[in-house]
Chains A and B, each alone.
Chain A
Amino acid sequence: MHLREFFAPDAISLALHATEKDEILKELIGLLKLDEKSDAMLYKMLKRRENLGSTGIGRGIAIPHCRSLVVQRLRVAYGRKPEGVDFRAIDEKPVYNFFLIVAPPLEVSNQYLPVLGKIAQFAKEPEVPDRLESLRAPEQFLTLLDEKGA
């Protein structure tokens, strides 16, 4: 399994507009290009998850994730906010890199946990935050995944 397979170029944003947590979630959801009703349902689920404990795992990284009926297969998105946002992360520091993961409630291939774990490992690699900071185009993000996301 390689992380590269799960990211589409149009689900990557290197300059998120939102400046606070809830809006960031909505903007990330927007990257998946679902319909309006699905967006609302997904937002509700992600909010619920965040209320149980922030998915901001420290070092400027957050991995909002949930299972939801609105997707038929595992979907992921990446968003970057160069100025940082208060996401109530465990280290209480601003978050710059967001990885959204949404999986259907029942998947045959059961990729949810492996992908979640892989993204967490990828994001925690020492040089990855710096590399993410210097990305200039979505394709470069995919190249970084090619290199580090195995």
Chain B
Amino acid sequence: MHVVVVGAGEVGYHVADRLVGLQHDVVVVDVEPRRLEYVANHLDVAVVEGSGTSMATLEEAGIQKAALLLAVTNVDEVNLVTCMSAREVEALTTVARVSNPTFYRDARNLRPAAFGVDVLINPERELALETVRLLKTTAATDVAVFAGGAVQLLGLMVAPGAPVAGRRLVDLAAEHGDRPILTVAVERDGATIVPRGDTEIRVGDHLFVATKAGEVATALELVGYQPATVRRVMVTGGSTEAYYLSHLLQQHRVQTTLLIEDRQRAQDLAEELDKVLVLHGDATDVELLELEGVGGADGFVALTEHDEINILSSLVAKRAGARQVITLVNKRDYIPLARHIGLDAAVSPRLSAANAILRHVRRGSVTRVATFEGSDAEAIAFTVSPASPIAGKSLAEAGIPAGAIVAAIVRGTEVVVPRGHDRIEVGDSVVVFTLPEAAQAVSEYFPA
């Protein structure tokens, strides 16, 4: 599939990277030659210099043969006009990144169809939603949901004293056979493996676990965490992400304190968030965080625009006793570091954007893709077509390629976290967790 990506910033770069990985043919457009040069040097894509709002530029990028146009610059208006420019192109799906909350507040403001936009994505809001999911699952480092939330894929660090520590998966399966919880991957010493029955779980392992929504608490207990409710959360930063998160927490009736360094921004958000305590102050000020009672908070979420400030304030919050700390990290290199120094979970705007976009990149039988920060692994949802070589077979008969594992089978409203004897039928939605080396083989099992 030919894809035109307008915008070579963090989001555009990351999305282009993922699309190349999915074997798509990608052209990246940007007005800034230096950004394009970086993209061209690092990714297997073509680049075109110019504005996506110009049809001539889009034509140069091959818009006439493209199936997908992704307008993902950091300027909402540019993205909308880009999609508008390409509205006459036949058989083209257009995706615009639009972040400004005011566009969404009033239905009169934004009629995507009027702009020729097929899909609107809002990475900042996606990030806020992901943060809420992380807060709800307390100990999780990652949460990806499928089948409308019925299937959950959780990243979890194995805590000291966890019931699973020192045990082999085969023994755990024998003990908890009735529990629909499946370990789909183990990340250890920087490498991700799809485990086998004789894989022994160790304290400090980063596990990816597939489970039904109703069994999340059990999964948490097995890796050594107590389920807990979230009553009070402190958020730092005046970013769009901070706005969306505070708004969501307010809707969930979570008592929220929002600490913003910029006075004008603090005032603006104070007016919009009527149930949030908005305070003006410096998020790195240890004394201020302590005076505001960060130690008694169930969650602390650092969402300023600066990675270093977020990491620093998260460390202060953790030390003061905040139960769960979530840190916004832009720089890819900082993400493993954040986990290493004891922060609970990192969220990244780039990853949220990529996940939001990839969800709409339907290729053949793929209905949904989730990626994980700091790992090349992907979770992909496929629809099983009659052409699938494994339709009607059990998982044991199907012979899923090494490096991949079926995390869940969804049949209508029924969800199965499968074992070898479970069958795959035509029409099922199948969630597969796969390492990069197995991705191609897996996709051949699920033709359109």
In the complex, are the beta carbons of B232 and A90 less than 8 A apart? no
**Which residue of chain A lies nearest to B278 when distances are taken between CB atoms in the complex?**
A57
**B277 CB contacts on chain A under 8 angstroms:** 57, 63, 116-117, 120-121
Query: In chain B, what residue has the closest Cβ to A123?
Result: B277
Distance from B274 Cβ to chain A, minimum over Cβ atoms (Å):
5
Of the candidates A48, A67, A112, A113, the one having the most CB atoms from chain B within 10 angstroms of its own CB is: A113
Q: How long is the Cα–Cα vector from A58 to B280 in the complex, in angstroms?
A: 11
User: Which B residues lie within 8 Å of A113 (CB)?
Assistant: 232, 255, 257, 293, 296-297
Beta-carbon contact of B293 and A52 below 8 Å: no
B291 within 8 A of A: yes
Contact present for A52 and B285 (CB under 8 Å)? yes
Interface footprint category on A: 20 to 34
Measured CA separation A92–B266 after assembly (Å):
11
Q: Judge if B397 is at the interface, Cβ distance under 8 Å.
A: no
Q: How many interface residues does B have (CB within 8 Å)?
A: 27
Question: B232 near A53 (CB under 8 angstroms)?
Answer: no
Do residues A124 and B274 form an inter-chain contact, with CB atoms below 8 A? Answer: yes
Tell me which residues from 41 to 63 in chain A have a Cβ below 8 Å from any Cβ of chain B: 48-49, 52-55, 57-59, 63
Q: Looking across the interface, which residue of chain B has its beta carbon closest to that of A126?
A: B274
**CA of A113 to CA of B298 in the docked complex: distance in angstroms?**
11
**In terms of DSSP, what is the predominant structure of the interface of chain A?**
mixed
| B270 touches A (CB below 8 Å) | yes
Question: What residues on B are CB-neighbors of A117 within 8 Å?
Answer: 232, 255-257, 277
* Contact flags A94-125 to B (C-beta < 8 A → 1, else 0): 00000000000000001011101110110011
A145 at the interface (CB under 8 A from B): no
Closest to A63 in B: B277
Chain A residues engaging chain B, CB cutoff 8 angstroms: 48-49, 52-55, 57-59, 63, 65-67, 90-92, 110, 112-114, 116-118, 120-121, 124-126
* Additional A-B contacts beyond A49-B288, A53-B282, A117-B255 (19; CB < 8 A): A48-B287, A48-B291, A53-B281, A57-B270, A58-B267, A58-B270, A58-B278, A59-B270, A63-B277, A67-B291, A113-B257, A113-B296, A114-B232, A116-B257, A117-B256, A121-B255, A121-B275, A124-B274, A125-B274
List of 9 A-B pairs having minimum Cβ-Cβ separation, nearest first = A53-B281, A117-B255, A120-B277, A52-B288, A53-B280, A90-B267, A58-B270, A113-B293, A91-B267
